[in-house]
Structure 1
Amino acid sequence: MTHLPLTSLIVMAAAALGASSAAQAAQVEVLHYWTSGGEARSIAELKKTLAARGVNWKDFAVAGGAGENAATALKARVMSGGAPTAAQVKGPAIQEWGQEGVLANIDAVARSEKWDALLPPAVASIMKYKGSYVAAPVNVHRVNWLWVNPAVLKKAGATAPATLDEFFAAADKIKAAGMIAVAHGGQPWQDATLFESVALGVGGAGFYKQALVQLDPAALTGPVMIKTFDTLARIKTYIDRDSAGRDWNLATAMIINGKAGMQFMGDWAKGEFTAAGKQAGADFLCLPAPGTAAAYTFNIDSMLMFQKPGADDQKSQQVLASAIMSPQFQEVFSLNKGSIPVRAGVPKTRFDSCAQRSMADMDASSKAGSFVPSLAHNMAVGSAAQGAIMDVIARFMNSTMSSKDAVAALAKAARTK
């Protein structure tokens, strides 16, 4: 069988789809949870990219910062026999959907465009099920960032922290100056985001992998994990009483507006600073979370492709996958969303200092073995264990649970299947 280059397939698909004005327009239905300001602009760019290739976008947006609502909606759609063309799905969930036998194979696109050569091996493996590509990676987010308002630091007489000791020194000064030291939203996924950066800062990448990826019982219950919870308990004292239920972007707004000094959050927060017209290095600082400069917790957005019976649907799916991986879209998407491109070959010149540092740190950590998947953002463990672990963290954040009791509960949660 002769295999045509993907570019030829795209041209043929576009020509066939546009051959008759009476024919139904090509369409992809995409389920996603990109609904904040920076995220919405990124989606608008993907719609434009597809439209230029002759494919319409049917939006199925489900609000909810970490995607819990979207995951529920997707399950309902697939179980009813009406799977969307593609859905925003990440990490181990890709493998879970693969086991259901409902995914589309997009190896033709990946081979034609040489994805194996363009993607970091750790990323490529996540996008595959049983050796075949079933998802297109959109970008890479670094989770272990600390966002800082330098004007708040100056007013408090504090300096930007690199270590946990320096962080607490800065937090004390900000609090003493009558401002909120740590902007945080009291939602389980935000609690887990804070927790994993603290665990990485306390224990390093080796401990992080043992405890939060391999779920090793000794690491989960040992002294380093107890110290992690002790540190988390101390950070709680710098969070304001109104944090319960606060959305992450509203916490970021507290940094932007000078109401708070620091926020632990992934680099999607940068999209909110950009949308507010703020400049990296001047109006805000992006720093590795205290103690984590040598490591990188990654969160990869991806579009998972579902089996569709129609030939036109399948061609449109190929166009979607190709558009997602194009250098032009990878650049504009990450510029809007605050992330960095996942594929090689995208120019760095338009990216700010935060993104360029993220690119350099991703390369360095990948080589050093400290490029680790985010627990909080569905990259590290299966959904059942992740949910149980996040429940423990949320209980700890919202009670007087001791660190000793927390590690015992954490080890039990890790056994959830």
Structure 2
Amino acid sequence: MNRPGSFFLAAALASLFATAPARAQDKLEIFSWWAGDEGPALKALIDLYSKKYPNIQVINSTVTGGSGVNARAVLKTRMLGGDPPDSFQVHAGQELIGTWVVANRMEDLSDLFKSEGWMAQFPKGLIALLSARNGIWSVPVNIHRSNVMWYVPANLKKWGVSPPKTLDEFLATCKTLQGKGVQHPLALGENWTYNHLWESVALGVLGPEDWTALWTGKLKFNDPKAVKVWATFGQVLDFANPDASGLSWQQATDRMLKGTAAFNVMGDWAAGYMATTLKLKPGEGFGWEASPGTGGVFM
């Protein structure tokens, strides 16, 4: 399943991250949106690379903005302007294949996967997600789980509710919370977090098989099953804060932590923010479950 937030490195034509030393170039640019709370993880990767290849200068080009909204705009300008970065962060799947791969702007990494033995190391389903047109087009560096619902255990205990397991339970729990004074039980942020939430709701309504069928064309978007996704999504949004567009994803998470909201659906990178930046103890300062209806599924 495609996952927003996952970190893959794609190599633009005339440059290749993993084989940079073999090309005898003395610089390597990594273009990404990993900054702020996620910056240390990228720095650790760069430090490891620099230790192995000390003669290569790594240029860390970051464009801030959740989910790469701003970075993709800058990348498009550079790609169309003839100034592609050596490598860049991308979400696996059609975000890359449906844009720069079909435009013949990328380098096939199939030989690299074979020489490094990665064909046997990565799950077949993941490699399929990276593949098209008889090629493999990006290297998995980090894989996030998207379908996670966050909460504060002490707050739920205070309100007398439990983490909902299903979408019906979620809607009922939010209704109960409103009766206890929590006006907007679900904390949402800027626009891309709506898309993020929609994916979790869609998976919860459809289940894994129909979710996949939706993107392969086997299940049409006007099928009653797919229409139900939108109806349920609307019900979920009824419990969200109306000022979401003015909040970053971190600020939305903060509302959940401060108790003005009960739940926040966000990828597992939120754990890094809460545990590393805010110094909260997992399981106490914050808790988590699979987003309602998606238990046992990793998206």
| Cα pair 2:100 2:106 within 8 Å, conserved | yes
1:160 counterpart (158, 163, 175): 163
- 1:194 paired residue number: 197
1 or 2, which has the higher helix percentage?
1
TM-score, length of structure 2 as denominator length = 0.83
- Equivalent residue, structure 2, for 1:387: none
- Counterpart of 2:185 in structure 1 is 181
Cα offsets for 1:77-130 (capped at 9, x unmatched)? 122222111011232233232233332344454223200011011212333454
| CA 226–149 in structure 1, closer or farther in 2 if over 3 Å, else same | same
- Aligned residues of 2:20 and 2:28 also touching (Cα < 8 A): no
Letter in 2 for 1:125: A
User: Which residue is equivalent to 2:266?
Assistant: 265
Q: Which residue pairs with 1:291 in the alignment? A: 293
Would the alpha carbon gap of residues 196 and 102 (structure 1) be closer, same or farther in structure 2, given more than 3 Å must change?
A: closer
Distance 2:79 2:19 in 1: 30
Partner AA of 2:176 in structure 1: K
Partner of 1:311: none
Residue aligned with 2:188, SS:
coil
Identity of aligned residues (%): 29
Q: Would you say the 8 A contact 1:185–1:248 is kept in 2?
A: yes
**Any idea what SS the aligned residue of 2:262 has?**
strand
Match of 1:113 among 104, 111, 116: 116
Contact 1:152 1:260 in 2 (8 A): no
1:67 aligned onto 2:68: yes
Aligned 1:273-312 pairs, distance under 5 A: 273-275=274-276, 276-297=278-299
* 1: CA distance, partners of 2:78 / 2:131: 22
Say which one has the larger Rg: 1
CA displacement at 1:156 relative to structure 2: 0.9
Give the equivalent residue in structure 2 for 1:30. Answer: 30
2-structure distance, mates of 1:277, 1:251: 17
1:99/1:233 CA distance change after superposition, 3 Å: closer
Q: 1:123 aligns to what?
A: 126
Compared with structure 1, are the counterparts of its residues 12 and 119 closer, same or farther at alpha carbon in structure 2 (3 Å cutoff)? closer
Q: How many angstroms apart in 2 are the aligned matches of 1:156 and 1:77? A: 51
Q: How many residues align?
A: 276
Residues 36 and 249, structure 1, Cα contact 8 Å, conserved in 2: no
Q: Which amino acid is 1:43 matched to? A: L
1:233 corresponds in structure 2 to: 234
Of the three residues 164, 171, 174, the one matched with 1:171 is 174
TM normalised by structure 1 equals: 0.61
- In the aligned structure 2, how far is the partner of 1:134 from the partner of 1:221? 32
For structure 1, the 5+ residue unaligned runs are 1-9, 18-24, 298-417
Instruction: Kindly report which structure 2 residues correspond to 1:364-379, keeping only aligned pairs within 5 A, or say none.
Output: none
Gaps of 5+ in 2: 1-17
The residue aligned with 2:15 is none
Give the superposed CA RMSD: 2.6
| 1:181-229 deviations in Å (ceiling 9; x for gaps) | 1011141x21121112112212212222233x1245x642233333322
| One-letter amino acid of the counterpart of residue 244, structure 2 | S
